[in-house]
Amino acid sequence: MRRAALTLAALAAGALAPPAAAATPASRLIVPGVAVGRGDLGDTRAAIRAAYGRPTSVATRRREIVWRWPRRGLEVAFARTGARAGRALAISASSPAWATAAGLAPGRSLKAAVVREYPRASCDDEAGLCVLAGPAGRRTVFSYGEDADERLVVAVITVEVAR
């Protein structure tokens, strides 16, 4: 308990700063509103497979097909129908191996760091989300846990909003 309190105090004071941007290789870099690693929103299934390899599992839903790589902490949703059929509509990272240039990563960043790095993000503690508007109707969602003391980011999702 005391160690957790000290760790939180150190984080609040900035003593345990996120890793430098150089620590995250391009293949694991989250670019809000654009990409996760080498996979971009709008990419075809072939391009996503080239970026991440063959998915471990595939789920078909009414409006989307979801590819998952659980060991990588990665999920991509593709549109099933319409003008965007076969294109990546959402890319979700849930492993600390993925990070933004500022070092924000699922499992190792707090909501406070998201707000500090992206002051224009709109946060809703009840929903556990901070939403950052991006280019061309795209959004990046930082989903965080319910623990009011920590609010640890658990996933970063870059999504194209239907227009």
Whole-model pTM? 0.80
Do residues 121 and 131 touch, judged by C-beta distance below 8 A? yes
9, part of any domain? no
Residue 23 makes CB contacts below 8 A (sequence gap 6+) with 99, 103
- In this predicted structure, what is the pLDDT of residue 47? 97
The residue to which tokens 């965080």 are assigned? 144
Residues listed for the chain: 163
118, part of any domain? yes
DSSP characters over 77-95: EEE-SSTTBTBEEEEEE-S
Q: Which residues of the chain have pLDDT under 50?
A: 1-21
6, part of any domain? no
- How far is residue 2's CA from residue 5's CA, in Å, rounded to a whole number? 5
What's the N-to-C CA distance of the chain in angstroms? Answer: 48
pLDDT tens string 30-74: 999 899 999 999 999 999 999 999 999 999 998 999 999 999 999
In a 3-state reduction of DSSP, which class is residue 141?
A: strand
140, part of any domain? yes
As given in the structure block, the two tokens for residue 69 are 């790589």
Do residues 111 and 153 touch, judged by C-beta distance below 8 A? yes
Number of domains composing the chain: 1
- In this predicted structure, what is the pLDDT of residue 150? 61
- How far is residue 156's CA from residue 63's CA, in Å, rounded to a whole number? 22
Interior/surface letters 79-91, b for 16+ CB within 10 angstroms, e for the rest:
beeeeeeebbbbb
* Side-chain-side CA neighbours of residue 97 (13 Å): 10
Domain enclosing residue 86, as ranges: 19-160
